[in-house]
Chain A
Amino acid sequence: MLRSCAARLRTLGVLRGLPAGRRAPGSEPRPALRLFSSEEVFLKDYSVPNPSWNKDLRLLFDQFTKKCEDGSWKRLSSYKRESAAMMKDFKTHFLDPEHMKEEQISQAQLFTRSFDEGLGFEYVMFYNDVEKRMVCLFQGGPYLEGAPGCLHGGAIATMVDVTLGTCAMIAGGIVMTANLNINYKRPVPLCSVVVINSQLDKVEGRKFFVSCNVQSVDEKTLYSEATGLFIKLKPSLT
């Protein structure tokens, strides 16, 4: 569903974005001139290897790409901004569009894609529809430091939110983070690759319960475990 949407919207010259934990439409169609000039940037899919990806990340990427061959797994694309269609979708669900000032929209970009190559979040997500599992391969760069040499707890929290949210979103559409609970077991070395394995545990009405663990590439180190609750937005009545 996501991919076909992307294809359709691309023909309109509008970017399709992957929300982080919530369904968020992107720039509105009006400032078309601005879009054309930065189109190249915004149409770029960031969930593909680039020179900053280390060996571990590339290896895992290849392994999962192979798993996509039989259709059981799918790689999720990831863009810097969200699409106009998703924005419209979001507006109909969420009140207060007055909050969206135009200058801010033109400058805004998805938090996890606000960094130059290799400095911040380098990640790609693969999804298994049958098992309802989302795997995120994540390499945290030097701008995400916490204690010296370690990944900041907040950066881990961000990626947990993104992964859990995307997992919930694929099952439930537009969702919002309600709760996030993270237990940190061991510090993550900066610039190393971690694997975030997440799954949808249960659905109760509009509530989506998800959980994940964060492990080293060789699965020998458990860095953290987390659970999250995401709520599907109701359509507004206006």
Chain B
Amino acid sequence: MIRRGFQVVARLGHHRELLGAPRILPRLNPASAFGSSTDSLVSRFCSEKTDLKDYALPNASWCSDMLSLYQEFLEKTKSSGWVKLPSYKSNRDHIRGFKLPSGLEVSSGKGDWRIFTRCIQVDGQGYEYVIFFHPPKKSVCLFQPGPYLEGPPGFAHGGSLAALMDEAFSKIAYLAGQGLLTQSLNIRFKNLIPVGSLVVMDIEVEKIEDQKIYMSCIAQSRDQKTVYAKSSGVFLQLQLEELSSQ
């Protein structure tokens, strides 16, 4: 009942705080203005009303560093304004209820599509990752590359990190400002990432200007002693129309 209530409110783009367990239960704030604020985007994105499988959850392949840091952030979602983002097999699942801008229209055929970073579904073999977001600007992504992402022997392919940075940027750009498509990506690689180790990616929204969202990211080891890469990304804002009002 609360959820139905907040979904209506969500559309009005109110709440400042998100409380509750790893889920979002925003406080009702009837006095705020309209618009797709970050809060409303977040609550819609993280809606519990789904039977879709969330891949951003621990499994047996997660190394102990990843598990413990995950628990730390999970605790933060209960009281410090952090939110855990769900991760579905396809972006089509994420944008249910929305229409793509014309020019990007897509056949609704029965193909088996997968979002690139969930392309390898065997636990631990490909991308293991989870994104935590602290509106309006901060985000942390925990990433563990599996053996199918190999480049140099024993290390993750540079392209796999580039891909995850693009993916994490895309989700944060969407929630921070309805960013949709990548405009540019700039990555400076510093050190190779051993397969199976934890990469902590700190992402900041630097600014939103001229309908573009500018973000930066530092990918490093948990103890911050090894910087794996630094990057920046620019995403274009593109508002998605709703398919139907509910």
Contacts and interface: CB of A to CB of B under 8 A. Distances in A.
B184 A143 contact: no
Query: Which residue among B115, B126, B154, B186 has the maximum number of chain A CB atoms within 10 Å of its CB?
Result: B154
Interface stretch (A48-56, A70-78, A130-138, A156-164): A156-164
Contacts of A158: 157, 159-160, 162-163
Contact of A149 (B106, B151, B166, B186): B106
B150 A181 contact: no
A146 interface: yes
A73 B107 CA distance: 38
Contacts of B152: 19, 22-24, 90, 94, 176
B236 to A, nearest CB: 9
27 contacts: A19-B152, A20-B151, A87-B153, A99-B155, A100-B153, A107-B147, A143-B112, A143-B113, A143-B119, A145-B113, A149-B100, A149-B104, A149-B105, A153-B163, A153-B185, A154-B117, A154-B165, A158-B157, A158-B162, A161-B159, A162-B159, A178-B189, A179-B188, A179-B189, A180-B185, A181-B184, A183-B184
B186 A180 contact: yes
Interface string A142-173: 11111111101111011111100100000000
B189 A143 contact: no
Contacts of A94: 152
B172 to A, nearest CB: 14
B188 A178 contact: yes
A36 interface: no
Interface residues of A, number: 59
Interface in B182-196: 182-189, 192, 194-196
Interface in A73-126: 82, 87, 90, 94, 97, 99-101, 104-105, 107-112, 114-115, 119-120
A146 B165 CA distance: 13
Interface of A: 19-26, 82, 87, 90, 94, 97, 99-101, 104-105, 107-112, 114-115, 119-120, 142-150, 152-155, 157-162, 165, 176-184, 187, 190
Contact of A161 (B106, B158, B164, B182): B158
A108 B91 contact: no
A96 to B, nearest CB: 8
Given A111-B157, A153-B185, 5 more contacts: A21-B157, A111-B150, A112-B159, A115-B119, A153-B170
